[in-house]
C-alpha cells in the first residue's frame, strides 16, 4: 500500500460534493477468521454531521471506524475522506488530517496536557508560537482550566482526560473526527455532561464526526444520523434518530431501539414543533354557559383563564357556581412548559398536573395547551 | 573466621586508613571507572540487541538465552578463561563485567517497551506518528522507569563484581580485600567491603535521581 502515490488523481466514483467520508463496498476479514467482520458496507457521512455507528458487540462498528483512518486495513472496497482516496494515501499523512478520540483516551502519560494537545501540530511542523496559541485556545474550548495545561494526564479525572483527548483530536483543525466510544469509560453523570458538551462544541466547530457507541440512547442523543449495524458489519438501517424511531426498517432495528421507542421519540421532538391548540381558554368575565361550551369541546371539566396573552390560572367548572369567570383566586398552572422543552418533558408535566394538561410559554407569552392525547396524536400520525 | 583471629588486635586500624587515603581515592576512581565502563558498554550493547529483538521478535529468545548463559558462568571461571586471550587487562575485566549486565538490561528494555499501553500506541499511530517516531517519542520515554530499574540492578551487581577483578590485577576496592586476605589484615578487608557496599548504594541513588529527572510524570498522581 505504501508505495502507491500520496494522493489519488482519480475522482471519487459517485462524487457527491457534500459527503465528507464515503465508504464504498468496504469489507474486512481478519486473518484466521472465516466470516468477515464487515461485509460490503457502503456509507456516506455528510460534511458537518455526526453519524453514530451503533450495534451489538461483533457488529464491526469499531472495525468500520478504524478502517477510515486505516488503523485497520480494509480487505476490499474504497474509502474517501475529504475527497481523497484514503487507501492510496500514506497512513500517517491521512491520519494527521483526521482527529482520533478513543475510549481509553490514549493520552501520552509522559507529556503534559499542553504537550498532548500540541501533538498533531508538532507532527505537522507548526511553529512554536502558533502551537502555543492553539493549545491555549483548545484548552479553553473544551472547558478545562488554563492551569491544567502543565499537569500530567495521571493528575486528571477521567472526564478531564477525555476532554483533553477531544482537544488533542481537534488541535490541527482536521475536517474529520473519529470517536471510538469516547465516553464509555466515564461514570454516567460525567458522560451525560460530556455528551451535552460535545453537542455544544459541535455547534461551534462543525466537524464531520463518526462516533461509535453501543449505547442506543447516546446514539439517539448525539447523532444527526444513526447507522445501526448487525453482526458481521451488516448495515441494517441508517437515518435520523427520528426516522429510525418512527419507522424501524425491520425487527432487528426495532428490537435494538428498545421497547420504549415511543418515549425515545418524545425526547427528540421539541414542543414548538407542534401546532399548539389554545386549549379550553376563556376570558375573565365569561359566563358559565360559555365556559361549559369551551370545556365540552375539549372534553374536560375545567377552563383556563387568559387575559391579553397572559394566563391567569384555571378552575373547575364546578367552582364557577352561578357567577362569571373571575380574574383572581384561580388555580395556578404549576408547570410552565417552555416551548424548547421536549415532548418527553411535556408528558412528564402533564401526568403530574391535576388538569392533565401543560401550559406552554415562550418566555411569558402563552402559546397554548398540551395534553397527553395531543402528544399521542403526534407520535402516531 | 578471619575476624576470629584478631584477638588482642583492634578490628579497625584507623591509622592505616588515614595513612592510605590517597590509595583509597585512587581505588575509588578505579572502581567507579570499571563500573561506569561496564554499564555504558553493557547498556549500548543491550539497547542494540533489544532493538533487534523488538523489531524481529524471533530473535528475542536466542538473545536472552545467550545473555542468560553468560550470566550463569561463575565470574571466577570466566576471568580465568579469558586471561590466556586478553591477559591481565582492563579488557578482560570489562568483557566479564559487560557480559553480566546484558541479561538484566535486555530484559528490562524489552519489558519496558512492551509495557507501553496499547491504547497510547494506537492513539500515537492514529494521530499520524510513524513507527520510528513513535518508538523514540513515545515508547522509549515511557519505558524509562523500567529501563532505569534494570540499570539500578545492573549497577549494584557490577559494583560487587568489580571486586572479583582484583584477581586479574584490576579490581578497585577488591584490591584491598584481596591484599587484606593475603596479609590477614582485617582493616583492609573491611575498608574494601564497606566502601564497595557504599558505592553500590551511591550508584543506586544516582539512577533513582536520573529516573526522577527523566520520568517526572511517573511520580505525579491525582492530588
- Give B49-74 pLDDT, tens digit per residue: 999 999 999 999 999 999 999 999 99
- Across the range B20-28, mean pLDDT stands at 93
pLDDT band at B221 (very low <50, low <70, confident <90, very high): low
CATH for A262: 3.40.50.300
| Cell 494527521 -> residue | A96
Q: Are B123 and A96 in contact (CB < 8 Å)? A: no
**Is residue A249 within 8 Å of A268, Cβ to Cβ?**
no
Exposed/middle/buried for residue A176 (C-beta within 10 Å: 0-12, 13-18, 19+): buried
Half-sphere exposure at residue A272, Cβ-oriented, CA atoms within 13 angstroms: 8
- Across the range B119-142, mean pLDDT stands at 95
**How many degrees, rounded to 5, is the angle at CA A210 between CA A205 and CA A212?**
125
Q: Are A95 and B142 in contact (CB < 8 Å)? A: no
Pair (A344, A204) in one structural domain: no
> At A296, is the secondary structure helix, strand, or coil?
helix
What is the per-residue DSSP string for A341-376? SBHHHHHHHHHTSTTSEEEEEETTEEEEEEEHHHHH
Question: Mind telling me how many Å the CA of B121 is from chain A's nearest CA?
Answer: 7
Nearest chain A residue to B219 by CA distance is A154
Q: Looking at residue A13, what is its pLDDT?
A: 45
Distance CA(A320)–CA(A343), nearest Å, equals 32
What is the per-residue DSSP string for B10-21? -S--HHHHHHTH
Pair (A250, A186) in one structural domain: yes
**Residues of chain B neighbouring A93 (CB-CB closer than 8 A):** 128
pLDDT band at B222 (very low <50, low <70, confident <90, very high): low
Q: Looking at residue A333, what is its pLDDT?
A: 80
Residue A287, C-beta contacts closer than 8 angstroms, at least 6 positions apart? A324, A325
- Top residue of A86, A110, A115, A170 to mutate, by most chain B CBs within 10 Å, is A110
Which pLDDT tens digit goes with each residue over B86-108? 989 999 999 999 999 999 999 99
Pair (A254, A287) in one structural domain: no
Nearest chain A residue to B218 by CA distance is A110
Indicate whether A25 belongs to any domain: yes
Nearest by CB to B217, from A94, A109, A168: name it.
A109
Give the full edge-to-edge strand order of the sheet including A38-46: A38-46, A19-28, A76-81, A84-85
What is the pairing mode between strands A357-362 and A365-371? antiparallel
Dihedrals phi, psi of B78, to nearest 5 degrees: -65, -45
Q: Quick one: chain A helix, strand, coil %, rounded to 5? A: 35, 25, 40
Q: Structural domain tally of chain A?
A: 2
Nearest chain B residue to A70 by CA distance is B126
Distance CA(A283)–CA(A303), nearest Å, equals 10
Pair (A290, A372) in one structural domain: yes
The whole-angstrom distance between residue A164's C-alpha and the CA centroid of its chain comes to: 20
pLDDT band at B127 (very low <50, low <70, confident <90, very high): very high
Residue B223: CB atoms within 10 A of its CB come to 5
Q: How far is CA B107 from CA A25, B87, B136, B151, in A?
A: 46, 31, 18, 11
Indicate whether A14 belongs to any domain: no
Q: Looking at residue B8, what is its pLDDT?
A: 62
Q: Looking at residue A326, what is its pLDDT?
A: 85
Q: Are A96 and B127 in contact (CB < 8 Å)? A: yes
What is the H or E stretch that residue A149 is in? Answer: none
| Cell 583492634 -> residue | B10
Pair (A256, A290) in one structural domain: no
Pair (A207, A353) in one structural domain: no
**Is residue B156 within 8 Å of B203, Cβ to Cβ?**
yes
Pair (A259, A214) in one structural domain: yes
Pair (A252, A284) in one structural domain: no
Pair (A328, A261) in one structural domain: no
Residue A328: CB atoms within 10 A of its CB come to 8
Question: Mind telling me how many Å the CA of B93 is from chain A's nearest CA?
Answer: 38
Q: Are B119 and A155 in contact (CB < 8 Å)? A: no
Q: Looking at residue B12, what is its pLDDT?
A: 83
Q: How far is CA A235 from CA A20, A226, A252, in A?
A: 19, 11, 11
pLDDT band at B210 (very low <50, low <70, confident <90, very high): very high
Indicate whether A9 belongs to any domain: no
Pair (A312, A325) in one structural domain: yes
Q: Looking at residue A4, what is its pLDDT?
A: 41
Q: A307: which 3 cell numbers?
A: 387575559
Q: Are B141 and A95 in contact (CB < 8 Å)? A: no
Last residue in a domain, options A233, A266, A299: A266
Q: Looking at residue A354, what is its pLDDT?
A: 78
What is the H or E stretch that residue B173 is in? Answer: none
ipTM of the complex: 0.83
Distance CA(A260)–CA(A245), nearest Å, equals 10
Q: How far is CA A250 from CA A44, A212, A263, in A?
A: 21, 21, 19
DSSP conformational letter for A110? T
**How many degrees, rounded to 5, is the angle at CA A54 between CA A53 and CA A57?**
120
Pair (A250, A318) in one structural domain: no
Nearest by CB to A109, from B120, B130, B223: name it.
B120
Half-sphere exposure at residue B11, Cβ-oriented, CA atoms within 13 angstroms: 6
**Residues of chain A neighbouring B125 (CB-CB closer than 8 A):** 71, 91-92, 95
Nearest by CB to A106, from B122, B133, B142: name it.
B122
**Residues of chain B neighbouring A145 (CB-CB closer than 8 A):** none
Question: Mind telling me how many Å the CA of B49 is from chain A's nearest CA?
Answer: 25
CATH for A372: 3.10.580.10
Distance CA(B81)–CA(B67), nearest Å, equals 17
A299: left (phi over 0), alpha (psi -120 to 50) or beta: left
Task: Return the bridge partners of A50, or none.
Answer: A209
Higher-confidence residue of B145 and A322: namely B145
Q: Which of A344-353, B85-94, B171-180, B206-215 has the lowest mean pLDDT?
A: A344-353
Residue A147, C-beta contacts closer than 8 angstroms, at least 6 positions apart? none
Q: Write out the residue range of the structural domain in which residue A299 sits.
A: 271-380
Question: Mind telling me how many Å the CA of A252 is from chain B's nearest CA?
Answer: 32
Q: Are B223 and A155 in contact (CB < 8 Å)? A: yes
Last residue in a domain, options A266, A283, A299: A266
Residues in chain A where the model's pLDDT stays below 70:
1-18
**Residues of chain A neighbouring B124 (CB-CB closer than 8 A):** 106, 108
Last residue in a domain, options A210, A238, A266: A266
What is the H or E stretch that residue A221 is in? Answer: helix A216-222
The whole-angstrom distance between residue A74's C-alpha and the CA centroid of its chain comes to: 28
**Is residue A229 within 8 Å of A54, Cβ to Cβ?**
yes
Print burial letters for B181-206: b (CB count within 10 Å at least 16), e (below 16).
eeeebbbbbbbbbebbeebbeebbee
**Is residue A74 within 8 Å of A91, Cβ to Cβ?**
no
Percentage of chain B exceeding pLDDT 90: 81
Q: Are A92 and B119 in contact (CB < 8 Å)? A: no
Pair (A261, A316) in one structural domain: no
Distance CA(B161)–CA(B35), nearest Å, equals 9
Which of the following CATH numbers is that of domain B22-215: 3.50.50.60, 3.50.50.100, 1.10.3720.10, 3.10.20.30?
Answer: 1.10.3720.10
**Is residue A176 within 8 Å of A98, Cβ to Cβ?**
yes
Amino acid at each position: 500500500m505504501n508505495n502507491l502515490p500520496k494522493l489519488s488523481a482519480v475522482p471519487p466514483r459517485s462524487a457527491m460534493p457534500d459527503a465528507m467520508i464515503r465508504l464504498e463496498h468496504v469489507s474486512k476479514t481478519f486473518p484466521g477468521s472465516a466470516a468477515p467482520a464487515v461485509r460490503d458496507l457502503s456509507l456516506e457521512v455528510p460534511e458537518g454531521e455526526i453519524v453514530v455507528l451503533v450495534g451489538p458487540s461483533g457488529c464491526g462498528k469499531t472495525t468500520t471506524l478504524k478502517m477510515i483512518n486505516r488503523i485497520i486495513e480494509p480487505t476490499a472496497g474504497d474509502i474517501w475522506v475529504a475527497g481523497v482516496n484514503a487507501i492510496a494515501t500514506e497512513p500517517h499523512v491521512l491520519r494527521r488530517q483526521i482527529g482520533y478520540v478513543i475510549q481509553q483516551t490514549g493520552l501520552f502519560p509522559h507529556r503534559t496536557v499542553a504537550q498532548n494537545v500540541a501533538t498533531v501540530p508538532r507532527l505537522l511542523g507548526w511553529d512554536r508560537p502558533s502551537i502555543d496559541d492553539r493549545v491555549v485556545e483548545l484548552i479553553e474550548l473544551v472547558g478545562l482550566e488554563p492551569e491544567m495545561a502543565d499537569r500530567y494526564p495521571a493528575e486528571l479525572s477521567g472526564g478531564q482526560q477525555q476532554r483533553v483527548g477531544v482537544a488533542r483530536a481537534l488541535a490541527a483543525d482536521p475536517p474529520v473526527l473519529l470517536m471510538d466510544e469516547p465516553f464509555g469509560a466515564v461514570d454516567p453523570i460525567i458522560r451525560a455532561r460530556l455528551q451535552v458538551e460535545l453537542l455544544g462544541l459541535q455547534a461551534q466547530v462543525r466537524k464531520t464526526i463518526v462516533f461509535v457507541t453501543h449505547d442506543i440512547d447516546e446514539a439517539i442523543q448525539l447523532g444527526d444520523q444513526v447507522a445501526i449495524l448487525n453482526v458481521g458489519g451488516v448495515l441494517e438501517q441508517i437515518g435520523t434518530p427520528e426516522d429510525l424511531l418512527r419507522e424501524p426498517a425491520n425487527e432487528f432495528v426495532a428490537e435494538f431501539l428498545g421497547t420504549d421507542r415511543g418515549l425515545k421519540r418524545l425526547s427528540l421532538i421539541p414542543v414548538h414543533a407542534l401546532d399548539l391548540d389554545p386549549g379550553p381558554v376563556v376570558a375573565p368575565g365569561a359566563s358559565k354557559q360559555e365556559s361549559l361550551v369551551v370545556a365540552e369541546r375539549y372534553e374536560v371539566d375545567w377552563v383556563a383563564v387568559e387575559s391579553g396573552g397572559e394566563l391567569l390560572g384555571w378552575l373547575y367548572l364546578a367552582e364557577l357556581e352561578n357567577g362569571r369567570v373571575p380574574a383572581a383566586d384561580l388555580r395556578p398552572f404549576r408547570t410552565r412548559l417552555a416551548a424548547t422543552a421536549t415532548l418527553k418533558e411535556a408528558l412528564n408535566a402533564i401526568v403530574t398536573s391535576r388538569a392533565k394538561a401543560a401550559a406552554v410559554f415562550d418566555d411569558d407569552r402563552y402559546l397554548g395547551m398540551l395534553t397527553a392525547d395531543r402528544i399521542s396524536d403526534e407520535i402516531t400520525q | 573466621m578471619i575476624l576470629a583471629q584478631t584477638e588482642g588486635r583492634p578490628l579497625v586500624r584507623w591509622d592505616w586508613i588515614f595513612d592510605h587515603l590517597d590509595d583509597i581515592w585512587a581505588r575509588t576512581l578505579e572502581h567507579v571507572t570499571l563500573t561506569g565502563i561496564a554499564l555504558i558498554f553493557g547498556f549500548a550493547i543491550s539497547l542494540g540487541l533489544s532493538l533487534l529483538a523488538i523489531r524481529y521478535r524471533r530473535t528475542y529468545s536466542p538473545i536472552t538465552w545467550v545473555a542468560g548463559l553468560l550470566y550463569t558462568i561463575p565470574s571466577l571461571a570466566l576471568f580465568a578463561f579469558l586471561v590466556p586471550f586478553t591477559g591481565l587487562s582492563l579488557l578482560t575485566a570489562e568483557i566479564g563485567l559487560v557480559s553480566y549486565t546484558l541479561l538484566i538490561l535486555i530484559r528490562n528494555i524489552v519489558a519496558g517497551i512492551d509495557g507501553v499501553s496499547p491504547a497510547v500506541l494506537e492513539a500515537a499511530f492514529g494521530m499520524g506518528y510513524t513507527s520510528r517516531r513513535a518508538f523514540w517519542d513515545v515508547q522509549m520515554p515511557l519505558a524509562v522507569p523500567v529501563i532505569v530499574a534494570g540499570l539500578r540492578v545492573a549497577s549494584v551487581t557490577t559494583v560487587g563484581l568489580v571486586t572479583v577483578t582484583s584477581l586479574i590485577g584490576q579490581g578497585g576496592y577488591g584490591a584491598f580485600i584481596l591484599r587484606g586476605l593475603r596479609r590477614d589484615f582485617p582493616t583492609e578487608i573491611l575498608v574494601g567491603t564497606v566502601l564497595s557496599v557504599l558505592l553500590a548504594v551511591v550508584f543506586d541513588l544516582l539512577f533513582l535521581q536520573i529516573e526522577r529527572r527523566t520520568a517526572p510524570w511517573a511520580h505525579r498522581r491525582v492530588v
